[in-house]
Amino acid sequence: MRKFLERPPLAEKSKVAIARGEDYGEAEKAVRRVVELLGGIGKICKPGDKVMIKPNMIYASKPEEAETTHPAVVKAMVTLCREAGASVKLGEQTGWHCDPELSFTVTGIKDAALAAGADEVVNWDTDEYVTVAVPNPRSFARVMLPKSLMDADVIIHLPKMKTNAVQVATLGIKGWIGALHNSMRTFIHKNALDNGWATTDVVKALGPKLKLTLIDGIEGMEGSGPHAGLVCHPKLIIASQDVVACNAVTCKIMGFHPLEIPATQVAMKDGVGTADLDEIDVLGERIEDVLYPFKRAVNQYVSHYSNVREFVGGACQGCFWTFPSLPPHVDPEKKYALVAGARALIGDDLSSYDEVHLIGICACAPSHQLPGFKERVGRAKKIVTHPYCPGYNTAVHHHEKAEAKGDVFEVPDLLLGDMCALWAVPDVTNEDKMEAALARKENRQSLEDVRRTAEQYYGPALLESSKPALWPMTPLREMAKWQDPVDRELSPTPIRFLQGNGSSAGTPNVVRTDERGEGSIPVK
């Protein structure tokens, strides 16, 4: 049969170890078992090595929500490295706008790491960053990574076994987006492949220092991962020194094709490892004995509300993700249109629409659209532009806008967390998170309600000390520099954007939601 890649088979097979763990009381036993199967901790680190462990931490969620690496797995890994005579640090960032310090505490990861003998838990959001060349690059010739990570002799990754709305499942490659500097992260969520190329570049920049990927699948998250899915119980720990093989075997267990994650394909093509099960020795449990099919993240492609209509043509995932989230609040008395894509198809007359949201750089540039686009959207009473690529970045930054002040989005991480909860169809989404997100959209929760709920969840002291990580929205032209092996000045390419100067018919009232993107180039 034709192989995925035309290349000679590997000289040596990769190894993936699988162990069962009934619950987190058995985490250490299962972690020890997979490490032993792979040849022992001595193959990973030796006395005097500086080890950096990266868990999987997106928001400040409690361990029982199965969103982050369980503290028992963190503790077991730190313990093993310490027994080997290595010094250990742990580092991670969070998803947008969530305070990493709050997350380290609420997830139990910080306490677990320190209790097991880690020297330090490093908040990569405030760490020093270094520029690292990517060998055999795809998306980035250089990436900015935390200094504490690159100073390590040995890097260990502890992903969670969970689905992901961008990449099918997060696992061993996508998770490395957590090490990329904030200014580089927003840009690479246009679609799954875009994300896969870029995160594979991060793994290549880590090089042979990445010695182990160990997946916490004692409890997992299925459905609307990475944040709003459902807890499930595969009862497994899966580990490998080959991150690609680890992804492939884990995907197979989850009921997906081993090559289904785009990043797995890209990484295999670039020689990072193998996803060909014929080239992998599975040690410990057999795949067929531990199969645990996960519910997938099923995108919700249309708004929940019948007075919000979508008009799409040639749109990517990173733009149509915003459909469940825009406008940030829905007034039942109003009529809204969402327009996205490089050739938006608008068959309806928009003159009766109160607000038209143009999502993404493509929809905001009439010069990129079919003839007549400007006149069609111009009939609306008001136009709101979200001129970034992908468009959801401007939606995520909504809380920074003047009109959001005093609104529920002032609470850290709510907007993106709510977006995640609404991304997927209801039956694969955590019902509580989805209901809370809808309540905020419909103004059924006051800011006081939100604060009270957050206080109950985090506790007053933690909430008081929380400082959301405010990510800069990098102008797109500045992103271009990371494609070059050396830093140099680049001249921007002008794009013609929709201009507005009033609210009379044909010259709509255009509300710019972002002045930091390419859209700041004035066009006559």
Binding site for ligand SF4 (CB under 6 A): 190, 315-316, 318-319, 340-342, 360-362, 389-391
Residue 170, token pair as written in the block: 């997060």
Tell me the sheet residues that pair with 146. 129
Q: To the nearest whole angstrom, how small is the minimum distance from the Cβ of residue 188 to ligand SF4?
A: 11
Least distance to ligand SF4, CB of residue 368, Å: 8
Of 341 and 468, which has the nearer Cβ to ligand SF4? 341
User: Minimal distance in Å, beta carbon 387 to ligand SF4?
Assistant: 8
- E runs forming strands in 99-247: 120-123, 129-133, 142-146, 154-158, 160-164, 168-169, 210-222, 230-232, 236-240
Question: What residues contact 287, with CB distance under 8 A and at least 6 apart?
Answer: 18, 249, 252, 253, 277
* Location of structure tokens 């162990």: 19
What's the min distance (Å) between Cβ of 359 and ligand SF4? 7
Q: Return the number of the residue (223 or 390) whose C-beta is nearest ligand SF4.
A: 390
156 - beta bridge partners?
53, 212
Residue number with CB closer to ligand SF4 (132 or 361): 361
Nearer to ligand SF4, 193 or 231 (CB): 193
Residue nearest to ligand SF4 (CB): 360
Distance CA 114, CA 119 (A): 7
Q: Cβ-count burial of 516 within 10 angstroms (0-12 exposed, 13-18 middle, 19+ buried)? A: middle
**Strand, helix or coil for residue 352:** helix
CB 312 → ligand SF4: shortest distance, Å?
9
**Residue with Cβ nearer ligand SF4 (215 or 319):** 319
Shortest distance in whole angstroms from residue 191 CB to ligand SF4: 7
User: Closest distance between ligand SF4 and the C-beta of residue 432, in Å?
Assistant: 30
Looking at beta carbons only, is 185 or 295 nearer to ligand SF4? 185
Nearer Cβ to ligand SF4 (176/187): 187
Q: What's the one-letter identity of residue 248?
A: A
Look at the block and give the residue holding tokens 């160990």: 214
Burial zone of 272 (CB within 10 Å; 0-12 exposed, 13-18 middle, 19+ buried): buried
CB 123 within 8 A of CB 84: no
Distance from C-alpha of 84 to C-alpha of 49, rounded to nearest angstrom: 9
Q: How many whole angstroms separate alpha carbon 85 and alpha carbon 190?
A: 43
